Structure 1
Amino acid sequence: MPLMLPSTPAASRSITGVAPELLAAVRGESTWFPAVRSAVLVVVDGLGAIPLRAHAGHARTLTAGMGKKDVAAAVFPTTTASALTSLVTGVHPGEHGLVGYEVRDPARDRLVNQLSGWERAHIDPETWQTAPTIFEQATSAGIPSFAVGMPGYVNTGFSVATLRGADFRGGRNAVDRVQVAWELADANPGAIVYCYLPEVDKAGHAHGVDSAEWVAALEDVDAALSRRLPEGVGALITADHGMVDVPAHRQLVLDPDEGWHDGVRLIGGEPRMLHVYLEADASTEAVVERWRRDLTGFAEAASRDEAIAAGLFGPIVTDAAASRIGDLIVIARSNHAIYDGAAADQRSRGMVGQHGALTDEEWRVPLIRHGAFAG
């Protein structure tokens, strides 16, 4: 079965280029940006380019200088654990190893949540995710680096995997975090500063992209970013992924009584991109063909080998990363979502906004130049 990524013009940029170009910008060597005194990377989690443009009237700061080319391709899967790690390492999930939201730890044969399950699963983030972060690269080059995020994120497993090397600072809301980021960039010439804003993503999951709550979160972020940048400081505003709204009638629940779990050991990933791990004696080819047939029009199904050959997880897939990819992967089409009916926790069925698959709404993210980068 031929699997293909969304069509992307050869000249299009990827979020994997962000980290190396920001490091180059503070050295005056970037091919994307002019030389700057310091650089800030602002990540607005969950803000796709298409929803942003559709709500431009509520985000005048963000869209004022946003042209048609100010977009980038995300990575697959379009989920926070995978894409944020790609943003701060400059490599695809197949190389950094965070290949989904919930993946199998082959050493312990159990699912591990890649955002919040590190401590519970006793996973060492420094050996699970070995690609050097932008902050580690900066330190080795004598460049100061900082990360500004929610105070509760400090020293979590995911933060160690993605922010190691940075001096972490907390901020309670978007206004506080942006102010701290601007001040750090101003006070530390040559610095790289990362500023994480999760408010839009949270509102989208709970209420949907077209909700009043999502618009309010977007307005709050836009207002926070309207603060003038210090002289000579450039900011790049981007996202890890976008999202789509999934109505209840677009949900498919995999009922164990209907044979979906035959030969299946574990189902991970997330509702728009499943990692399906099979029993040792199951026929991968037979299971893939059955799922592919029964999901026609609803989702695409492919084996691990097919997904890797198609380049879904990037041009390089390490042995460690490959061992975490499902024997079968399932990518939802349109605005569908697929749920494991045998799972004890069904709370995710209440999420409206979702991501993980390959629609343009999930795949295209803004790449907006601000301050000295806009000059």
Structure 2
Amino acid sequence: MTLPADLHRPAYGTATLADVLPSVASCLGVGGPDPLGLTDVLRGARRVAVLLVDGLGADLVRAHPDLAPTLTALAGPLGDLQAPCPSTTPVSLTSLGTGLPPGSHGVLGFVTDVPGQDRALTHTQWTDDPDPATWQARPTVFQQLAAADVPAAVVGPYAYAGSGLTRAAYRGARYAPAVSPGDLAAALGQALTAHDRALVYGYHAELDLTGHVRGVDSPSWRQQLAHVDLMVAQVLDGLPDDAALLVTADHGMLDVPADTRVDVDATPALGAGVRLLAGEPRARYVHAVDGAAGDVLAAWRAELGDRAWVVGRDEAIASGVFGPVDDDLAARIGDVVALARGTWAVTATQQEKVPSMLAAYHGSLTATELAIPLLVARGSAL
């Protein structure tokens, strides 16, 4: 299955976010191969911190070296990595935590159908239904580290402690709630120094939120990037001599103008035969009523044309964009998959009022959405 020239299949197993923690674990003496080839980069490190900044796309960092001098000065020995598909936070965080592509771990979108229950699951609002241990049944890299007696800690927002997504992506790690960027920087340092061998993972959310609400070409976003850079500098100030810091992201982001939006709720052809509209504006899953999947696919293709890559579920799976898809997870993908091209987005101004009002989005497979940094700093003894 050939994708349009402007969309790209993530390079699972060699250069994606899913490959980061398996490589780190390998360098700490746990697990199998080192898919990213971090052995030389992390040689001698007994403690490794991985900081993921939500929405810190590689293209965005490169566009603002003056606002992010600390990030710009860090080494990027492997070049850019890629987000998984869809390029959205719940999918990416679960790929990071499990070391697996989405088709294997089953968190396949921001919002997905719960097969057989005629309802949707918004992964960022998930608590315990469905059971996280069942919905995402694969072991995490944190569990592998714990089994090998290598302490693992996650430092993340206080509000996410115990959430369904936290339990699905990070189980096996001790969760240390943080209440601010300064608290995150301090807690990362404290967790690193608590053991002589450890993996510490930190997650920062505010840059992504600012981008969504104000746009990535806004003074607000640029100011927030400068705050992120300061936080990274603070983490580096507390980095032990025998530790290393990796900074990465879950996806990039792009502004979507008003004239490149298609509103499902104002386009009758896109609503006909649809049981459930899932996904998000740049990565849509469309679930059809019984017997209507072919008609829905034809209507979405005709209406969107070259504004999106529109395929049926089987075609999407065969393309490899999700990695290998387990048979029991396939139904979570829509009968129709629509991945936006250019700056287009498929909003739903009545069904999804707040998401449809945002300034910037991600989720599709353009280079800007997929490209994420992997920046490295090493302690003075390494």
Per mean C-alpha deviation after superposition, the further-off stretch among 68-77 and 41-50 is 68-77
- Indicate if the aligned counterparts of 1:3 and 1:307 stay in contact, CA closer than 8 A: no
Task: Please tell me whether residue 329 in structure 1 is matched to residue 342 in structure 2.
Answer: no
Residue identity over aligned pairs, in percent, reads 36
The correspondence of residues 55-94 of structure 1 with structure 2, limited to 5 A, is 55-67=64-76, 69-94=78-103
Amino acid at match of 2:26: A
Q: Paired residue for 2:19, among 14, 17, 20? A: 17
Give the match's secondary structure for 2:286: strand
Could you tell me which residue of structure 2 aligns to residue 237 of structure 1? 247
Q: Judging changes above 3 Å, is the alpha-carbon distance between structure 1 residues 11 and 157 closer, same or farther for their aligned structure 2 residues?
A: closer
Q: Check 1:113–1:9 CA distance in 2 against 1; reply closer, same or farther (3 A cut).
A: closer
Give the Å deviation of 1:102.
Answer: 0.4
Aligned to 1:105: 114
Equivalent positions of 1:173-322 (< 5 A) are 173-227=180-234, 228=237, 229-255=239-265, 258-282=268-292, 284-314=293-323, 316-322=324-330
TM-superposition CA deviations, 1:267-317 (whole Å, max 9, x none): 0000001100011121x3332122112211311100000000000111x21
Question: Could you tell me how far 1:114 is from its partner in structure 2?
Answer: 1.2
Contact 1:16–1:92 (CA under 8 A) maintained in structure 2:
yes
Q: Is the 8 A contact 2:269 2:303 kept in 1?
A: no
Partner of 2:168: 161
* Aligned residue identity for 2:205: P
TM-score (norm 1): 0.93
Per-residue CA deviations over 1:122-165 (Å, capped at 9, x if unaligned) read 21001000121121111111111101011111111111111211
Specify which of 145, 148, 170 is matched with residue 152 of structure 2. Answer: 145
2: CA distance between counterparts of 1:167 and 1:62? 27
Q: Any idea what the Cα deviations from partners look like across 1:203-256, whole Å, max 9, x if unmatched? A: 111111111111111111111111321111111100011111112222110136
Residues 1:356 and 1:267: Cα distance change in structure 2 (over 3 Å): same
Any conservation in 2 of the 1:186–1:233 contact (CA below 8 Å)? no
Shift of the alpha carbon at 1:318?
A: 0.9
Shift of 1:187: 2.0
Letter matched to residue 224 of structure 2: A
Q: Does 1:135 align with 2:137?
A: no
Q: 1:117 aligns with which of 126, 145, 148?
A: 126
Q: What is the SS of the residue equivalent to 2:275? A: strand
Separation in structure 1 between the aligned mates of residue 136 and residue 121 of structure 2, nearest angstrom: 14
How far apart, CA to CA, are the structure 2 residues paired with 1:10 and 1:144?
27
TM-fit CA distance, 1:340: 2.7
CA contact (8 A) 1:250 1:335 kept: yes
- Aligned AA for 1:197? H
Per-residue deviation, residues 88-126 of structure 1 (Å, max 9, x unmatched): 11100100000000000013111110111344xx21001
* Candidates 31, 39, 44, aligned match of 2:48: 39
User: SS at 1:231's partner residue?
Assistant: coil
1:350 equivalent among 347, 357, 367 = 357
- Check the 8 A contact 1:38/1:234 in 2, yes or no: yes
Asked if structure 2 preserves the Cα contact closer than 8 Å seen for 1:267 and 1:274, the reply is yes
1: distance between equivalents of 2:17 and 2:341? 23
In the alignment, is the contact (CA less than 8 A) between 2:16 and 2:81 conserved in 1? yes
Aligned-partner residue type, residue 286 of structure 1: D
Number of residue pairs aligned between Structure 1 and Structure 2:
370
Q: 1:232 to 1:204 in 2, by over 3 A?
A: same
* AA of the residue aligned to 1:35: G
Give yes or no for contact 2:2–2:319 (8 Å, CA) kept in 1. Answer: yes
Q: Which runs of 5+ in 2 are unaligned?
A: none
* Separation (CA, whole Å) in 2 of partners of 1:9 and 1:151: 33
Output the CA distance in 1 between the equivalents of 2:105 and 2:381. Answer: 31
RMSD over aligned Cα atoms: 2.1
User: Hey, what's the Cα distance between the residues in 1 that align with 2:146 and 2:76?
Assistant: 33
Letter in 2 for 1:340: A
- 1:342, CA displacement in angstroms? 5.2
